[in-house]
Amino acid sequence: MSIAHALLGLLESRPRHGYDLKRSYDDTFGQDRPLAYGQVYATMARLLKNGLVETAGVEPGGGPDRKRYAITDAGVTDVERWLGQPEKPEPYLQSALYTKVVLALLTRRDAAELLDTQRGAHLRLMRELTRRKADGDLADQLICDHALFHLEADLRWLELTTARLDELGKRVRS
């Protein structure tokens, strides 16, 4: 996810201080990965330098002065362009898991055990996400569904690969 674009999008509703942006980001997107304050201010400095935001006021605070940031017309255009671009689908053609399976076969280690261990890790995460989804709000449910669908696809691949291990072993060793 583009943190810069997320912050720009949050600024479209109204100008905000860096602290307010961080809190809004964390509440909206960052439940699993909250932003560090330094990341917010570094991103805002870059957006300011690039003309995508401007300072809409400076207020004295208990510490350093607090800058209020506002999105510029160029920032709105940038968010609009970003929203209109589809995300690149990730085909996972060179996954670490595939590499491990092939290397296990090449070195005559137990690739079936590797796949079984991975299956267990996937199932544990799926159970955790299912619990989180049941207790979560709509945003949490949607993000958990996204992750669960990817994990389900991985499980299908694990089953298919397990069924083809003998054939794959013959091919990689020849």
State how beta strands 66-71 and 16-17 pair. Answer: antiparallel
Q: What is the pLDDT of residue 99?
A: 87
Indicate the burial class of 21 (C-beta count within 10 angstroms; 0-12, 13-18, 19 or more). Answer: buried
Q: What is the pLDDT of residue 2?
A: 86
Q: What is the pLDDT of residue 75?
A: 96
Which residues make beta-bridge pairs with 101? none
Least confident residue range of 43-47, 79-83, 135-139: 135-139
Q: What is the pLDDT of residue 93?
A: 64
Q: What is the pLDDT of residue 27?
A: 86
Q: Give the predicted TM-score (pTM) of the model.
A: 0.71
Q: Above 80 in pLDDT, residue 31?
A: no
C-alpha dihedral over 101, 106, 108, 111, to 10 degrees?
Answer: 10
Torsion 154-158-94-111 (CA) sign = positive
Average pLDDT over residues 16-41: 88
The top-scoring range by mean pLDDT among 21-35, 57-71, 89-103, 115-129 is 115-129
Boundaries of every domain in the chain: 3-84, 96-173
Q: What is the pLDDT of residue 1?
A: 63
Confidence of residue 51 (pLDDT cuts 50, 70, 90): very high
pLDDT (tens digit per residue) in 86-121: 888 777 766 888 989 999 999 889 999 999 999 999
CATH fold for domain 3-84? Arc Repressor Mutant, subunit A (1.10.10)
